[in-house]
Amino acid sequence: MTAPTDQFVDIAKRSQEAVTTAVRTWTDALQSFAGSFTGSTPKLPDAQAVVDQYFDFAQQFLESQRSFTLSVLTVGTQAAENVTEQANRVAESVKSRTIQAGEDSSEQTGPAAAPATQAVRNTRAAAAKN
């Protein structure tokens, strides 16, 4: 009895031979069929050239996809940076206006507003730390 790997190799060889025979038969039949229309045996395209053209096209397509993706990422990154910068400016403006409004309010109400004035000062000190 042979080893299992020998059996697999034998099966693979027989399968390859069967496929090769089928392809040859199909090719011969196709050539004779096409020859009956044209009166001569047609020349099939060069398989290597077809493969090269296919992969050249795929390479160009992938390069264009890469370029497009990088440009989208660049624009997206710039937009995110701009939005972040604007949000920081708005937050800083709101913070300073809130502190100023609190101070103005406490100054207008006089000594009765001493606790509110102290709260505004505490808020300002906390904001200055950040």
Instruction: Please report the pLDDT score of residue 95 as a whole number.
Output: 84
Name the pLDDT band for 1 (thresholds 50, 70, 90). Answer: very low
> What burial letters (b/e) apply to 53-90, b meaning 16+ CB within 10 Å?
eeeeeeeeeeeeeeeeeeeeeeeeeeeeeeeeeeeeee
Q: Per-residue pLDDT tens for 26-82?
A: 888 877 777 666 665 556 678 888 888 989 999 999 999 999 999 999 999 999 999
pLDDT of 122 over the 80 cut: no
Asked whether the beta carbons of 47 and 23 are under 8 A apart, the reply is no
Name the pLDDT band for 103 (thresholds 50, 70, 90). Answer: low
Average pLDDT, the chain: 80
Instruction: Please report the pLDDT score of residue 31 as a whole number.
Output: 76
Instruction: Please report the pLDDT score of residue 7 as a whole number.
Output: 82
pLDDT of 109 over the 80 cut: no
Total-model pTM: 0.40
Q: What is the dihedral of CA 28, 33, 35, 37, to 10 degrees?
A: -170
